[in-house]
Structure 1
Amino acid sequence: MSLWLNRIQPLLLLLSVLLVNVLFSYFAPLEQVSIAPSVLFPVVSLMLPLNLFLWSILPEKGVQNRSFNSLVLALFVLQAMFVYWLMSELPLQWIEWISLPVLSDLKLYHLSFASSLAFLFAGFVLSLKLNYEKQLRVFNHSVVFILLLMAFALNQYTQDGVLAWVSSVVGLIVILSLVFDAHHIAYTDELTGLKGRRALNESFMGLGKRYAIAMVDIDHFKNFNDTYGHDAGDKVLKIVASILDTVQGGKAYRYGGEEFTLVFANKSVDKVSTELERLRVAIANEVIYLNPKSNAKSTKNKTDPKSVSVTISLGLAEPDVDHSSPSQVLKFADEGLYKAKKAGRNKLVHSVSKPIRATAKKSVKK
């Protein structure tokens, strides 16, 4: 899955958990009574949270970045050499320092003070990091929970099978988080944060027979890009999307380019017209500050920000005799959008099918 999604962080996390299990199985198996567990346990329980923290804060470089992979391999080799040196040389001063307990009287808690501090530090920093994420990543959220699980597993290390079972659960969590992230990427527009066209098409399957669909287009959007640049155009798209996302009784989607779609399940056009007018007025009244491009001819001072506003045109439609499927209603709403553009923009136009002619009725009677 890491190869498929080109993500190295999940692979490194699972590799760290795997190596912990290998180290305990090789150096300190539970069926053998030796000094090895008392030496290896505080070392590994200290190194694991630091490794999980390191793989989480390092930038995602993908699985095909050779220089980054070489750096990671070197880190693993250095840690392996360090553990081997500790197990062979047994430097008592180091081992005593990292083995100090939190409280000597605690019988149910076996992690050392240094290990506990490492787990708390990693969990706290990663939790703060989540608040500054621009895009939702389920994997990043799962790492905090994985830290808690591995702390529990190491604390219960002396119980046969606990470490292996918890490590298996960690592997399942990582796989599920990658699946959720892949779903989020596929169905969510990265720029605006709205659901994309794929999600829109799938939403049509559960609409039923009563619904309304509105097509929305930003007026003169190409002029914004030509005058202020694509960064300004992206800012306009984000602001418009954030206002459309406040729609009551419906769901906003980015259809593509500067077009958006609003879907209202179990609603008629009469019930959603007021809400669409509210959104149209809110966007028209929104003041946006943009920096003109250096080649803009319409501004005298090309360095000072300029306050501008944008408007939207909307086409609204609902199922009828001629338009029974959601895809047909969508195209029908797009016809209303085209009429709104022709009528001067910044308008809401209802698409209404042509009434049946009287002559047609007479011919039916005959």
Structure 2
Amino acid sequence: MMLTSQYNNINVMVRAFRLIGLLWLATAAQSVISAPIINAKTYRVATEADDVVTRILFDAIAYQFRLEIDYVNYPSFDAILIAIEQGESDFAANVTYTEQRAQRFDFSSPTNIEYTYAFSHSNVQLPDLARVGVPKGTIYGELIAAYFPHIIQVEYDGARRAKELLSTAEVDVVVDAINQLKPMLMAGLDAQLLNDQLPIQPVAIVTPKGHNTLLLNKIQEYVHSASVQKLLRESVQKYQFDIRKQALRQSVIDSGLNVQRPLKVKLENISQFAQYQHDGKVKGINADIVFKACDILLLKCELASQPDETWESMYADLVNKRIDILVPVTVSQQRKSDVYFSDTYYQPEAVLIKRENYKDNVYSNVSELIVERIGVIKEDFFEELLGKMLPNKVLHVYKTQNELVKALLGKEVDYIVLNRANFNQILREADNLLPLEEDLFIGSFYSSEIAMGFPKNSMGASLAPLFTRAIKMIDTQKIINTYDYQPNWRATLAAEKTFSRHTQWLFTLVFGFLLVVAFYLHSQSVTDNLTKLRNRRALYRRYSRGLNSDLTLIYLDVNNFKPINDNYGHEVGDEVLKVLASRIDSIWRGRSYRIGGDEFILIGQYSDEELEPVLMKLESFTYSDSARNLNIKVNVAVGVSNYRDHFMSLEEVLHQTDIAMYQSKHHRSGQRDNTKPLLKIIRSSNKS
């Protein structure tokens, strides 16, 4: 049960520029958008279960424009369109524009791509298929008919029917959007992104014809901002990764593997592939990929190799089933009888390395090297490869790559075989400039297929496909680029000059960044986290010297707020305060503060005639929560201080308004004092 719970559950300058750039980008995006729209209406957004894109977009929209959003789930995309057309819901996302639909709905301009997948029991390509399931009411049918007319289409409605079509082999694959990614992957199906196989149009947000036009335009402008587009991309990527990881971990459980048993991993100590550190850790292309795969699979993987261990001995351990994983292994037909392989994840190019100026432009092909002494690593793939390319030629074998390079420098051999990435790594790590070079006249003569190797037993048969699926989830190219790059001394010098030239600008930008951070922290310190109004600290800072006599101060206190918390919970209580704060923000043209609990202070310049309607709107309202089926009548006690004869301290005014508010709590609605004293009770609400 614990196991199941676990399963569920370059450069400093460049980084600095990126960080600062992101800050200004976010600030610029906010400046593009006009002031927030405050609307008491609750908008209904139509969606399907697990429609992550809709929720990412409208959660951001709701926060930006202070909108109340209700998500309404519908069983199918067709049902969503009907609900929008009939006015049952106000908005829907991920809708492809067509002329026919434009007669039924108002469209925004395109907001995002629609992530589309082919779900099947195996990894397939559309051109090779005969029958495909497509969801009813979507654009997929038209696209497949246009680009793959030979494919027979079968319409379905909902994820359950899609799974039935696949389980009964009525179709080869079903095509659907990202909202079906989770249920399909958890059902053990493969998901292949189709956006590079089908010209899927970008999608938009729709609303009922003739409704919400102004708001739709505002939403469109906001969604097009860089901050939202970045948020959407990163959120969708994380969602896809998390769902695939969850499904893959379930496959590990279903495979019957003993996940408590540590897997023994051996890594050949070769430059960028695996570099053993003084602390016992290892890094490099192979090390990073294999341990990331272990983490995704939630398998315990232990390093069982030593830095001085030879490839020959490690490969023997794999063949004799003394270890569980060997990396790297070059895939060859000969080895397939002894080893299970994952899919290849790296294809380095093999090159011939010689001493500088040695027989330049003499040979153009490996087969011509019949009189040259060639060095290889014992039992390495290149020994096998050169043995085939140069039959009957005696090769000089060495145990390690370091020995191989020393042999070339010591003139024991004339050529050695390395992949280009290894050679680049050797040049980078050398203390001095090595007098070695690639024979460019021959060039790259072979592209190796690097994979993980597993023993030829039942465990290896289970591990190979699981690690293949995990490798597909890893950004292997990013890892490869981290270690596999060619030294460029000219570029390095240019970078140093650029850095020197821009140092002053960098410090200026950093200083500007710090100013922005300081401003942000100050803003946070004077803002109430719940209501986003100013807080008590902001009030006392602003009026530390007192209040002018022409300023009106209003003290608000929610009646019976404790019973609301007790009866409905603190979450509902918080929502009541947020609704009141929203009303204050939309009605009051002066300054407003939440000073604690259910107490608010409003300060501004108002005449009696202006103040009367404002107080009427503030003293009572109805809080509605359709999700909880709640309608609560909320009354607010009001204390008012105006018409003061002289300048007074804040504490004095607050004390007097507190008295007035207390009187308000004990007067009936509409009761007045017509003598116009310093403190007036204006339309207090009854308390039961």
Q: TM-score, normalised by structure 1?
A: 0.48
Which protein is richer in strand relative to its size? 2
Larger Rg over CA atoms:
2
Q: For CA contacts below 8 A with separation 6 or more, give which structure has more relative contact order.
A: 1
Q: TM-score, normalised by structure 2?
A: 0.27
Which protein is richer in helix relative to its size? 1
